Amino acid sequence: MNTISNLSIYKNTPNLGGQKPQLPNGTASIRNVYIETYGCQMNVSDSELMAGILTQSGHRTVSHIDDADVILLNTCAIRENAETKVINRLEHLNHRKRREGNLIIGVCGCMAQHLRDKLLKAAPYVDLVMGPDAYRNLPMALNAVANGDPFLGLQLDKSEDYADIAPIRKEGIRAWLTIQRGCDKMCTFCIVPFVRGRERSIPLKNLTDDVQRLVNEGFKEIVLLGQTVNSYHDGNHDFGELLWRIAEVDGVERVRFTSPHPADATDSMIDAMENCPQVCKQLHLPLQSGSTPVLERMRRTYTAEEYRELVSKLRERIPQIALSTDIIVGFCGETEVDFMQTYQLMADIRFDSAFMFKYSDREGTLANKSLEDDVPETEKARRLNEIIKLQEGISAEINQDVIGTTASVLVEGDSRRDAEQYHGKTDTFKTTVFPKENVQVGDIVNVEIHSATAHTLIGEIAGSNC
Ligand code: SAH
Ligand code: F3S
């Protein structure tokens, strides 16, 4: 079996500024690589990075799976069902591998790092298992597997930030920019620190240069990405400063970020959100639970009361702010009283939207080692349904209140349902649909909102006679 430890010569490869280098001696052949992405936006961003690394070394990425001789699944490990989905997909791909013989199948990302060589036991036809800090070795790995041995690249590396790699993005108006990798928070339910390693921030200068390039390529909105994006610190600059500096790049229309941690919501961050016109008035602020004892067991480092106070402060400083959150129900030891506190906090705060999950016990996490996953599955499902119902009602009501107002919308493209309509996002990240007028994708337009569902605003460009 190949391992990555003796194959790390690509580390510190200079940025070739888009030039294609010669394939290294011994490279078997140029490959057509299809990358299929699962999970969060960080994975989407990592897939763009992988495409950059592969292209830089002479390989091609393809947009149709049928054209590929290498298929890489960039995977998620956050909940059990994310991994089950990938195992099913691998079985399907193995049918094709059996037919074609020379297809290379790779599993990359968090699930690869989580399951390690156990993945090869579950799916022995997999050729390559590669974690998030090993992507520099992808070209090397493709060569290595050509001789039939599987390749494992699983070292975590706190110094790896891929700052010198130019990702390959799809054209569009919104670019996702990773500013930080890994997580130091160690929430007890979460697998991320174990599969993505320690936190590291990319130097501000690299990021502002990246943003200038993105603007030159036509992107209008920059979304900064990190596991706890607001704990960003490159040694000299904190997150608030970064927001200002990114927003100052000539041509940047909008800046967003995801996901911040409530404990790192500093005045410097709030000040940038309040006073920097390009920074959108929208915040995804994961709560997880409304019960302080549960938050303690989760090691979230804030109480329910502190979270409430933070929300009050944000709304005082930025009255139009839209808030969304993540909630887990059925965490170890969660009683009906704990659950009702979550329900009540959601009802009081009235988030614009929420991602809601049943707790999923993950092997390797602190909760898995020291707490009992003792809420029955049926009870988790009931609690989840209750908060979903609550949140749907709140989201619908909040959107109803927008009817009759005018929203500033960045035009993103044709509406999925009707090519006569455009869709775009408001500053508060609400999807808005409206008939096409004399405007272009990438324009920011004023849209009068006429109607709304829980998830979409519907209107027309202000002043139009449609
Ligand atoms: N800070 C990260 C969190 C990543 S995980 C970010 O938002 O970028 C995203 C969400 O998944 C978490 O906020 C949490 O609500 C949920 N989650 C994480 N681990 C989970 C688990 N074991 N079971 C259920 N949900 C989980
Ligand atoms: Fe996970 Fe908590 Fe970090 S949710 S990503 S350990 S902030």
Average pLDDT over residues 225-239: 98
Amino acid present at 382: R
- Vertex 314: Cα angle to 312 and 320 (nearest 5): 105
Ligand nearest to the CA of residue 185, numbered in listed order:
2
- Quote the ligand 1 centre to 51 CA distance (angstroms): 26
Average pLDDT over residues 182-187: 97
Worst-scoring range by mean pLDDT, 168-177, 287-296, 319-328?
A: 168-177
* 228 in contact with ligand 2, CB cutoff 6 A: yes
The whole-number pLDDT of residue 148 equals 80
Is pLDDT at 278 greater than 80 in this prediction? yes
Average pLDDT over residues 333-355: 98
- Quote the ligand 2 centre to 112 CA distance (angstroms): 18
Which residue has its alpha carbon closest to ligand 2 atom 7? 185
**Which comes out higher in pLDDT, residue 15 or 86?**
86
* 78 in contact with ligand 1, CB cutoff 6 A: yes
- Quote the ligand 2 centre to 275 CA distance (angstroms): 28
Ligand nearest to the CA of residue 300, numbered in listed order:
2
The whole-number pLDDT of residue 463 equals 73
* 2 in contact with ligand 1, CB cutoff 6 A: no
Average pLDDT over residues 251-268: 97
Q: What is the pLDDT of residues 374-401, one digit of tens each?
A: 999 999 999 999 999 999 999 999 999 9
- Quote the ligand 2 centre to 187 CA distance (angstroms): 5
* 198 in contact with ligand 2, CB cutoff 6 A: no
The whole-number pLDDT of residue 464 equals 59
For all residues of the chain together, what is the average pLDDT? 92
The whole-number pLDDT of residue 16 equals 32
Q: What is the pLDDT of residues 17-28, one digit of tens each?
A: 333 334 444 455
The whole-number pLDDT of residue 28 equals 56
* 193 in contact with ligand 2, CB cutoff 6 A: yes
Is pLDDT at 90 greater than 60 in this prediction? yes
Which residue has its alpha carbon closest to ligand 2 atom 1? 190
* 189 in contact with ligand 1, CB cutoff 6 A: yes
Average pLDDT over residues 185-201: 97
The whole-number pLDDT of residue 146 equals 82
* 126 in contact with ligand 2, CB cutoff 6 A: no
* 79 in contact with ligand 1, CB cutoff 6 A: yes
The whole-number pLDDT of residue 101 equals 84
For the CA of 365, the nearest atom of ligand 1: 22
The whole-number pLDDT of residue 14 equals 34
* 258 in contact with ligand 2, CB cutoff 6 A: no
Q: What is the pLDDT of residues 318-341, one digit of tens each?
A: 999 999 999 999 999 999 999 999
Which residue has its alpha carbon closest to ligand 1 atom 15? 326
The whole-number pLDDT of residue 1 equals 46
Worst-scoring range by mean pLDDT, 14-18, 95-99, 279-283?
A: 14-18
The whole-number pLDDT of residue 50 equals 98
- Quote the ligand 1 centre to 210 CA distance (angstroms): 28
The whole-number pLDDT of residue 18 equals 34
Residue 116 banded pLDDT, cuts 50, 70, 90: very high
Percentage of the chain exceeding pLDDT 70? 93
The whole-number pLDDT of residue 253 equals 96
Residue 231 banded pLDDT, cuts 50, 70, 90: very high
